[in-house]
């Protein structure tokens, strides 16, 4: 089977897992701009999708391992102690590709705040390696096919869609998750709030409330 046929088959597998389009879901009160609130011990918030399915995002970042661009197996635990921006994407996803320059900017601008961007390409390895020869990705990159889908599912993804970005504090707690294309103002709002959590000036509950309200105030971005 050639690479194109395999890619079509893989895309169909993603659809079968529940995707109705790439980047079409939004986690928010109005289903337009995303901010998910992980479940706490006394609450079970519903994460809205276009199918109104309930998804439970874990409180703490799950542990998983995937291979990097040099074919070395890497554990997400290697970045313990840092706040993470974990971005699930694929080469065939146009919103994912549009995010890359912004993610590169975040990687450079936020390093001094102990924030690291991790890209996770859920795609065929040869396609990813070919793509990054043309488009530079200077932040850590992990690659997976089914194991990449499994990693995304570990974050509570009931229905698959890309791009999907998770933000954690430096203790590994999930502060926010965004399903759909991420924009600079949204990322800055979330990361400024994560920094406040790390500094102890906001609790996780306060941070999640602030992010939800802030994203709603920013309004809907056109694709």
pLDDT in tens, 11-39: 444 433 333 333 322 332 222 233 333 33
How many residues are listed for the chain in this entry? 223
- Share of residues in the chain with pLDDT > 90 (%): 68
Spans of the chain, pLDDT less than 50: 1-54, 223
Find out whether 153 and 186 touch, Cβ atoms under 8 Å.
no
With a CB cutoff of 8 Å and minimum separation 6, the contacts of 37 are: 45, 57, 176, 208, 209, 212
What is the rounded CA–CA span in Å between residue 205 and residue 208? 5
- Residue 57's pLDDT is 78
What is the rounded CA–CA span in Å between residue 222 and residue 11? 24
- Residue 11's pLDDT is 45
- Residue 183's pLDDT is 96
- Residue 215's pLDDT is 94
- Residue 24's pLDDT is 28
What pTM was estimated for this model as a whole? 0.78
What is the rounded CA–CA span in Å between residue 20 and residue 11? 11
Q: What is the DSSP string of 200-222?
A: TSS-HHHHHHHHHHHHHHH-PPP
With a CB cutoff of 8 Å and minimum separation 6, the contacts of 5 are: none
- Residue 12's pLDDT is 41
- Residue 176's pLDDT is 95
What digits encode the pLDDT tens for the residues 179-190? 999 999 999 999
């Amino acid at each position: 089977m050639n690479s194109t046929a395999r890619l079509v088959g893989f895309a169909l597998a993603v659809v079968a897992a529940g995707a109705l389009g790439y980047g079409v879901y939004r986690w928010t009160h109005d289903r337009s701009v995303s901010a998910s609130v992980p479940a706490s011990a006394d609450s079970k918030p519903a994460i809205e999708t276009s199918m109104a399915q309930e998804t439970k995002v874990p409180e703490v970042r799950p542990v998983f391992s995937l291979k990097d661009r040099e074919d070395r197996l890497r554990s997400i635990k290697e970045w313990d102690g840092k706040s993470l921006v974990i971005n699930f994407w694929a080469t065939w996803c146009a919103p994912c590709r549009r995010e890359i320059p912004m993610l590169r900017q975040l990687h450079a601008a936020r390093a001094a705040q102990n924030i690291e961007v991790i890209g996770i390409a859920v795609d065929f390895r040869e396609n990813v390696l070919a793509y990054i020869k043309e488009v530079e990705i200077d932040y850590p990159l992990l690659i997976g096919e089914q194991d990449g889908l499994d990693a995304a599912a570990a974050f509570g993804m009931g229905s698959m869609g890309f791009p999907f970005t998770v933000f954690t504090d430096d203790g590994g707690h999930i502060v926010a998750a965004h399903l759909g294309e991420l924009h600079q103002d949204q990322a800055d709002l979330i990361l400024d709030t994560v920094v406040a959590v790390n500094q102890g000036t906001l609790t996780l509950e306060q941070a999640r409330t602030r992010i939800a309200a802030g994203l709603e105030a920013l309004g809907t971005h056109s694709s």
